[in-house]
Each structure stands twice: as structure tokens, then as C-alpha cells.
Amino acid sequence: MPLELSFGQALVVYFLNPILGLLWIIVIVGVILSWLISFNVVNPHNQFVGMIWRLTNSITEPLLGPIRSILPNLGGMDFSPVVLLLLISFAQGYVVPMLMRVL
């Protein structure tokens, strides 16, 4: 018996959940790339590295900025990506299944 999804459920399954998964990957890539740049492992002036760096920053910075304004200053440590990853995990684990039941 095939599973029949409503339009809202299909939208959540085929659009929202993959977007959240892709955002998770982009945040991880941005964090790793920032470490590699700060430890001089990769050159930020390299055209490919610069392109990836600008892409990840342009996607994650609008989400990380408000989190940074809420978090207290912890010296040189930036925990905003961790908070964003926790929020994405919460959305994937609780919000998306709740939307599936409601829709």
C-alpha cells in the first residue's frame, strides 16, 4: 500500500527537511573552513577557497548574526555555529515530525 502524502506533508518531506540537512552541511563546512583559514592551512586568497568562504558566509551569516548578538562574549570562542546546529537538529527532530502530523 503506497503512502499518500498531502501537499503540506510532501512540501515538508521533499523541501523543508532537505533544506535543513543542506544547511547543516553548509554550517559544518563553514566552521571547518574558518579553522583551516585561521591556522594557515588554506590560503583565503586562493580563488576557489575564497569562493567557498564567501558562499558559506553569505548563507550562514544571516542566521549566525542574531545568535551572536544573544550569546555573551566568551573571548575568542564563537559558539554560535553550535547553537545553530542544535536549532537545526531540534527542527529536524521535533518540528518537522510535528508538521507532518499536523498537515
Residue pLDDT, tens place only, 51-102: 999 999 999 999 999 999 999 888 888 999 999 999 999 999 998 888 777 7
Confidence of residue 13 (pLDDT cuts 50, 70, 90): confident
Q: Residue 1's pLDDT is what?
A: 42
Q: Residue 46's pLDDT is what?
A: 94
Domain residue ranges in the chain: 8-64+77-96
pLDDT tens by residue, 22-57: 999 999 999 999 999 999 999 999 999 999 999 999
Positive or negative, the CA dihedral 88, 92, 95, 96 is positive
* Residues 65/81, Cβ–Cβ less than 8 Å: no
Q: Residue 41's pLDDT is what?
A: 94
| Cα Rg of the chain, angstroms | 17
Closest by CA to 27, choosing from 77, 89, 93, is: 89
Q: Residue 2's pLDDT is what?
A: 52
